[in-house]
Amino acid sequence: RIGQDFKSYDEEYNDFPAIVLIDGVFIPHHEQIRSYDARNIEKISLTRDQFRLGQKEYQGILSVETFEGDFLENYNPKNSLVVPFEQPVPKKNYFVQSYTPENNS
């Protein structure tokens, strides 16, 4: 049996906000997602540990995954800029048949 002694548990209270991710997209202002349709949500994960992202501290991560995984396509926050970028083209390795006399046996 695993138990925890709550009488001696003495962690200081903090009012740090949580990191909220929807399909991996960081949502800095949580009020923006209140109107999101909950019927699109497939899974919600919660991590309660304390994190630091840049100079700001957060208390936990709330990660939401949608069925389609397309939250970024419809998310348009203020002061945002969508910048298209080209992905590197993979180096292709073509097969070249060799017709030398050694290969004609």
Checking if the pLDDT of 9 tops 60, the result is no
Q: What is the pLDDT of residues 33-80, one digit of tens each?
A: 888 899 999 999 999 888 888 898 998 899 999 999 988 888 887 777
Query: DSSP for the chain?
Result: -----TTS--PPP--PPPEEEETTEE-S-GGGGTTS-GGGEEEEEEEEEEEEETTEEEEEEEEEEESS--HHHH---TT------PPPPPPP--------GGG--
The phi and psi torsions of 52 (rounded to 5 degrees) equal -125, 125
Say what the pLDDT of residue 2 is: 59
The predicted pLDDT at position 39 comes to: 94
